[in-house]
Chains A and B, each alone.
Chain A
């Protein structure tokens, strides 16, 4: 069965600092991977996805993620965080067992200090 672990419940960074949010997955073959963001009072919005090809994926709002098969990881990065990036971030994996339905991690809450 597919599963996702986001080891960090909360991450605090200063505005302008770089950011890396961790995501580890468990899956038998090449996974389909996603990062979503949820602002307060809103639904989830897709930041980026990896299905195949280049392992460095560019997304919206200046985010990128790198798929590392050897580490079963798909970490999200941003070189310079803005106060508006404060939100909840979810990693998700799909494709396990032939299911197209994604499994979500518990989420990482990003706090941005001015």
Chain B
């Protein structure tokens, strides 16, 4: 595998379910990101993990919980979601310690029923 991979690619879940999204990067980067992409809305940064810092968007509801066990893996744990959480969830990685381009995974299309 190369680049940034995300699993699953598609996920349908009920509002009472618990699921997790997985992201893995094979680029040797030290920073990883979760974005939410909804139709007709700007790309929304949810969380950032790097060796230097963790950044959270304070507007992200607590029903989204990130986990970053090492610099290559990033998870997004989901529980008791709402229909408005349906979106494309994108993972990205980059080098850290300055401004660098981000490399994105293909995303997980989440539908909450």
Contact = CB atoms under 8 A, between A and B. Distances in A.
* Range of interface residues on A (Cβ < 8 Å): 20 to 34
Nearest to A44: B104
Nearest to A49: B101
Interface residues of B, number: 25
Nearest to B10: A41
Interface in B76-111: 90, 92, 94, 96-107, 109
Given A32-B99, A95-B99, A43 B43 contact: no
A42 B108 CA distance: 10
B61 interface: no
B100 A100 contact: yes
B55 interface: yes
Contacts of A43: 4, 6, 90, 92, 104-107
B42 interface: yes
A104 interface: yes
B13 interface: no
A43 to B, nearest CB: 3
A108 to B, nearest CB: 12
B48 interface: yes
B96 to A, nearest CB: 7
B106 A42 contact: yes
A90 interface: yes
Interface of B: 4, 6, 33, 41-43, 45, 48, 55, 90, 92, 94, 96-107, 109
Interface of A: 32, 34, 36, 41-46, 49, 51, 90, 94-95, 100-102, 104-107
